Amino acid sequence: FCKDGEVTSLYLPSNNIKGTLPTEIGLLSSMKLLRLNSNDLSGRIPSELSKLTNLVDLQLNHNALTGSIPTLFNEFWTSLEILNFANNLLTGTIPSDITALHKSLVILALDDNFFEGTIADNMGALTELVYLYLEQNGFNDTLADDSLVRLGNLQQLDLSDNYFHGDFPPHLLQHDNLTTIDLHDNQITNFPTSLPNNTVLGFLALHNNQFTQPLPSSLTNLRNLEHLDLSNNEFSGDISQFLGSMTTLTYLFLANNPFTPGIIPDFLMPGLLPEFAGLTRLTELSLKNTSRVGTIPPTLSKLTELVLLDLDRNSLVGTIPSTLSEIVPLTFLLLNRNNLTGTLPLAFTNSSVIMLLLDRNQLEGDVTFLCDGTVNSKRRDVVVLDCGGNVPEIQCAGQCCTCCDSAISLDGLGLEMNGADVTVTDMCDDTSMLANLDPTWEHGFGRLQYDFDVAAWTLQGFY
């Protein structure tokens, strides 16, 4: 776009542009918007960009740019609000001159690169920041420094997939505006047992860290928390009843922690314990590999908003309650690797479940009915069963079924059972079927799709 013969905007995202950024770009000194994101640009960022001091919006993300960020910023840069170099091949540290943007910068996205070093020295000066995305880099630092506290306007903070270590910093919860904290896949070792009351934070992701303590009751001070992911740590002790008071939760992930063996907690469901209203807003619940014993309570059907229920790899016994089929939105039901017995209730014929994992149990009977027709206009795609030679076993003559057999290795071998082609595989031996628990900032930290880690079983667009 031009104004009075001068270029003010260059907007060319997703145009398959190849090559390097020309140094002549520095001649466009009236430019306010430069968006060349989602192309095939390579090479280094030219230092001549430093001449574009009128820029408000600078986005070079999703290219193949290399090298470090050159010295670009000085006191003449008073307007830049958006700086997005994410999803490139950039290296080095965050340049110290970025502090020159302290009066204007609102969005800083350097995620999905190869940056390293620390962040404390530079971030505290950027007091206008609202969104800070540094995930999937090589930053190695503690978060004890209070420089992030000075970012009083911050709403979303994503430092996941780095090497941050030490204690979880309680000062992050002193922000008046911070709604999202994503620190998953770091090396954080301790969560504070005392926290200030916080009514702002809605999203807290701490999975894949190194916590080794009982679940901290201080979490209840996060009064409006909706998304809590503590999976893949070493949390111990009981799955504490205080979670029952966190009635705003819609996502609760506790998977793969060595809790004390116990039943599926009553406090999850409404009406069972007078002191708890139940977590009736839950849309996703993962208790995978949390040492759950006993039976699956039929009252789980009181969680009427569930889309995903993951009870995989526990020691649950008894039959599958037919009431689970009454959960109208339930799409992903993972009951595999337990000690369940009996048959699958016929009530599941009309359920909304599209992915159903039942392998590594003691179930039997014929479940061909699962493969008939569609479910809410969507095909039931994945039903994983013990139907490849185990005793007892399930019969299935439908193409939606995938059979598991731990006794023999028949990976990918197609067999015919009752006149229908059925796949027998040993993938159930060691492959974990685990929902992708990382909603990304690009989608407002919400679910755009569900990805499971078996590549062929990617189910998109259901939620």
Q: Is 24 helix (H, G, I), strand (E, B) or coil?
A: helix
Largest Cα–Cα distance in the chain? 81
Q: What is the pLDDT of residue 419?
A: 34
Where is 122: in which H helix or E strand?
helix 120-123
DSSP letters, 196-257, are: --BSS--EEE--SS---SBPPGGGGGBTT--EEE--SS--BS---GGGGG-TT-SEEE--S-
The string of pLDDT tens digits covering residues 135-149 is 999 999 998 877 888
Q: Give the separation between CA 157 and CA 55, rounded to whole angstroms.
A: 24
The reported pTM is: 0.89
Give the closest residue to 36 by CA, choosing from 13, 8, 69, 2. 13
Q: Is 293 helix (H, G, I), strand (E, B) or coil?
A: strand
Give the closest residue to 166 by CA, choosing from 145, 187, 192, 135. 187
Give the closest residue to 107 by CA, choosing from 143, 80, 138. 80
Write the CB contacts of 444 (distance below 8 Å, at least 6 apart in sequence): none
Q: What is the pLDDT of residue 309?
A: 94
Q: What is the pLDDT of residue 371?
A: 82
Give the closest residue to 371 by CA, choosing from 385, 389, 390, 359. 385
Q: What is the pLDDT of residue 430?
A: 43
Q: How far from 381 is each of 56, 288, 352, 458, CA to CA, in Å? A: 47, 22, 12, 10
Low-confidence ranges of the chain (pLDDT < 50): 4, 377, 406-427, 429-432, 453-463
DSSP structural state of residue 192:
-
Q: What is the pLDDT of residue 147?
A: 82
Q: How far from 379 is each of 60, 400, 422, 423, 463, CA to CA, in Å? A: 40, 9, 17, 18, 15
Give the closest residue to 122 by CA, choosing from 102, 144, 137. 102
Q: What is the pLDDT of residue 332?
A: 87
Where is 10: in which H helix or E strand?
strand 9-11
Q: What is the pLDDT of residue 381?
A: 64
